[in-house]
Structure 1
Amino acid sequence: MFGDLSGMMDKLKKAQEEVEKTKVRLDSVLIDETSADGKIKVTLTANRNIKSIAIDDSLLTDAEELEDFLIITLNKAIEKASKINVTEMASAAKSGMPNIPGM
């Protein structure tokens, strides 16, 4: 019994290490999103950290329009990054999980 427990603990530790490695790797995965008219471009990591925002000068005269474009474009980019993040983190966690009956 204790041998199995020790083996499960080792597998859990490996799963945790794999998750941490995946978090680090996802910081280097960049997602670019551009607004429909191409006037705003955002880049963020798969960990959902914004790296850059480029705004066309024509949007600088209308704050409301700029805000609308930013919200839409950022939300699209965050959605893409979240999908990648969830998939990769689930895969990393699952790869090292012990086979526990009933789970």
Structure 2
Amino acid sequence: MFDKLMAAQGKAEEIKKRLDTISVFGEVEGGAIKVTATANKAITAIAISDEFYEQSDKEELEELLQAAVNKALAQADQVSAVEMQAATKDMLGGLGGLFGQ
């Protein structure tokens, strides 16, 4: 039983490491602002086109940057949920023997 729980914990760590290697993106205004994050919700890059930066005001830039970040984080949530769902299914299948299934 302990071995199976340790295996489940190891699997969770493996998933976390894998999520760190998956990039997700959020962009607005046709790519004028692009945000890159990991599936673990760590922002890794923000790019703002020079043209857009020169033409926008502070409020517009802040609002659109927030929207791009939220899009990237929403995509991270989706990827993470899919990965966790698959892992949970694997772990529950492996733990079934603990409960006589």
Check whether TM > 0.5: yes
Which position in structure 1 is the counterpart of 2:3?
10
Which deviations, in whole Å up to 9, do the C-alpha atoms of 1:45-97 show, x marking residues without a partner?
A: 00010110001223355110001111111111100101111221232243223
TM-score (norm 1): 0.80
Give the distance between the partners of 1:15 and 1:43, measured in 2 at CA. Answer: 30
Which position in structure 2 is the counterpart of 1:90?
85
TM-score (norm 2): 0.81
> Amino acid of the residue matched to residue 79 of structure 1?
A
Give the distance between the partners of 2:83 and 2:21, measured in 1 at CA. Answer: 13
Gap regions ≥5 residues in structure 1: 1-7
Equivalent position SS for 2:81: helix
Give the distance between the partners of 1:93 and 1:24, measured in 2 at CA. Answer: 16
Give the distance between the partners of 2:73 and 2:8, measured in 1 at CA. Answer: 26
Give the distance between the partners of 2:70 and 2:41, measured in 1 at CA. Answer: 11
What CA RMSD, in Å, does the superposition of the two structures yield over aligned residues? 1.7
Number of aligned residues? 94
Bigger relative contact order, structure 1 or 2 (CA pairs below 8 A, ≥6 apart):
1
Gap regions ≥5 residues in structure 2: none
Which position in structure 1 is the counterpart of 2:68?
73
Equivalent position SS for 1:27: helix
Give the distance between the partners of 1:51 and 1:33, measured in 2 at CA. Answer: 12
Equivalent position SS for 2:21: coil
Change (3 A) 1:94 1:9: farther
Identical positions, percent: 40
Equivalent position SS for 2:3: helix
